[in-house]
Amino acid sequence: MSETFGGRSFVVAFYALIVAITGVVGAVLGVAGPDDLTPVTLLGLVELQPTPLGLAVYGMVTVGLALGVPLALVVVVSNRADADRPGENS
């Protein structure tokens, strides 16, 4: 990999790609899915109708959070571990 697109840049781009694909799949399900879908509740707060937009938003938010929160925790732990290493300059 080149130096311009590696490490964190790759992980963030891959994360964004996965979330975008989830949105596309949600929209496709909203268009081509069964007619008797029931509304979905996003995080127990917002009820979304099973439209292409509603299912895309639901998928993107749930997958984004499910992958984003652990990814953010890994970044925090990694930064702290690098800062705690004696004898290395950042």
Whether residue 36 has pLDDT greater than 70: yes
Domains in the chain: boundaries: 8-84
CA distances to 41, 62, 72, 80 from 69, rounded to whole Å, are 20, 11, 5, 17
- 3-state secondary structure (DSSP) of residue 48: strand
3-12, 16-25, 41-50, 61-70, range with the lowest pLDDT = 3-12
Mean pLDDT (whole number) for 10-32? 93
Whether residue 84 has pLDDT greater than 90: no
Task: Go through 21-51 and write b for each residue having 16 or more CB atoms within 10 A of its CB, e for each that does not.
Answer: ebbeebbebbeeeeeeeeebeeeeeeebebe
Whether residue 8 has pLDDT greater than 80: no
Structural tokens at position 44: 């127990």
Query: For the whole model, what pTM was predicted?
Result: 0.77
